[in-house]
Amino acid sequence: MSKGVNFSRPLVISGPSGVGKSTLLTRLLDEFNKDASQPYFGFSVSHTTRGIRTDSKGKKEVHEQDYFFVDTDTFKDMIAKSQFIEYAEYSGNFYGTSFQTVSKAQVNDKRCLLDIESQGVRQIKRTGLKPIYLFICPPSLSALESRLRARGTGESEDTIQKRLKTAIKEIQYAKKPNAHHFVIVNDDLDRAYQIFRQVALGHRKGERAEGFELAEDRILFDDREKAGLVFEQVEDDAVDETLPPLED
């Protein structure tokens, strides 16, 4: 599979909890990292202070594979030692991306993938990382709430409401000009994945990429117009913020 011109730049993926980021990433790694001797991608495993989850099928998250699960004191010690590229508090827990995990993900010419929320995106834009920014958008707020309730992770009603409030903040940021290079609406997993894989392979808007299987002519790989229907459901945030132009 051919790689686009942006493959050498890290890919920062953001979007509300429950939008399907993990599902898309798992599918991508299953497809392109099957050959362990020549993997396409390296995933930057984040640190978090939240507990290990078990999904509806009884599968538990794995330390150092899904996250580095650490206690709050350890996380704050890493902050004090300036070990994070970015970190944020999200739904009552800390999450962060360390310099070490990003460096490890990029060895042997792999493309580094980072799953980060909007607070972290803001911080990364103040660094010299120069990634490509991708936002995964739900088809609607009601669809997102349904997905959160159907995940089977045993979260309380209070936790779900916190996630929905945080989702609104994520979408408020995504509405801003120059927030992200690409927006994909995950209204159909197979369709969203076809677009996602071409962005992940480093192709720019307008490139007709090898292996693109959608019948529709979607060489722009961008759902910004479709996402506008979701953006309209969310008021602009109160932060007066002008984002610098994105680097192509």
Contact 231, 179 (CB under 8 A): no
Give the C-alpha separation, 208 to 219, whole Å: 5
pLDDT of the residue at 211: 58
Contact 217, 209 (CB under 8 A): no
Band (80; pLDDT cuts 50, 70, 90): very high
pLDDT, mean of residues 99-108: 92
pLDDT higher than threshold 70 for residue 215: no
pLDDT, mean of residues 172-185: 93
Share of the chain above pLDDT 70, in %: 92
CA angle 239, 244, 248 (to 5 degrees): 135
What pLDDT, in 10s, does the model give residues 52-78? 988 777 889 999 989 999 999 999 999
pLDDT higher than threshold 70 for residue 181: yes
Active-site positions read: 53, 151, 163
pLDDT higher than threshold 90 for residue 200: yes
Q: Which CATH architecture has domain 11-43+110-231?
A: 3-Layer(aba) Sandwich (3.40)
Q: Mean of the per-residue pLDDT values for the chain?
A: 88
pLDDT of the residue at 217: 47
Question: 84-90 and 93-98: which strand pairing?
Answer: antiparallel
pLDDT of the residue at 151: 77
pLDDT higher than threshold 80 for residue 206: no
What predicted TM-score, i.e. pTM, was given to this entire model? 0.86
